[in-house]
Amino acid sequence: MLSSIIALLVVADVWAIIQVLQSRESNGTKVLWIVLIVLLPIVGLIIWYFAGPRGAGG
């Protein structure tokens, strides 16, 4: 059960990082968002979901 939750969190974080990389934000902003998502996987993902840059398509 715990391993499934961790796997889901990792997949969600990777997806969020890909979305950040595809956004039109500056490289500095992208780096800050990626660091936030990596260092604070749960909180960073939640903050990114509500306030972060989206990919080029959204």
What residues does each domain of the chain span?
2-51
Q: What is the pTM of this model?
A: 0.86
Alpha-helical segments (H) within 1-58: 2-22, 27-39, 41-51
User: Residue 58: pLDDT above 60?
Assistant: no
Residues 53 and 21 sit within 8 Å (Cβ to Cβ): no
Give how far Cα 24 sits from Cα of 10, 18, 34, 36, 57, Å.
24, 12, 14, 18, 10
Q: How many CB atoms lie within 10 A of CB 9?
A: 13
Q: How many CB atoms lie within 10 A of CB 46?
A: 13
pLDDT in tens, 7-44: 999 999 999 999 999 999 999 999 999 999 999 999 99
